[in-house]
Amino acid sequence: MPVIDVTLAEGREPEMLRGLIDALTEAAVDALDVPVESVRVILREVPRTHFAAGGVTIAERRARAQEEYS
């Protein structure tokens, strides 16, 4: 039973998340030759204030970008 665990910043539309689940499931079925019913997909949405790269959160990076374009 493949388990695909994805962590992403919150804020995407439900339709986009549904599309991601479908695409990941299809990829696992194709790549691993397993029944679709055996594929598990877990989406974990993290607040943008709790998701950082290089010590800068996504929220901070977005705020800085808006300041530059203002």
Of 2, 14, 35, 47, the active-site residue reads 2
- 14 tagged catalytic: no
Residue ranges making up the domain that contains 33: 3-68
Q: What is the CATH number of the domain that holds 27?
A: 3.30.429.10
CA dihedral over 32, 33, 36, 37, signed as positive or negative: negative
User: How many helices (DSSP H) and strands (DSSP E) are in the chain?
Assistant: 2, 4
What is the rounded distance in angstroms from the CA atom of residue 18 to the CA atom of residue 21? 5
Domain count, the chain: 1
- Residue 40: the pLDDT is 98
pTM for the model stands at: 0.85
pLDDT digits (tens, 9 = 90+) for 22-38: 999 999 999 999 999 99
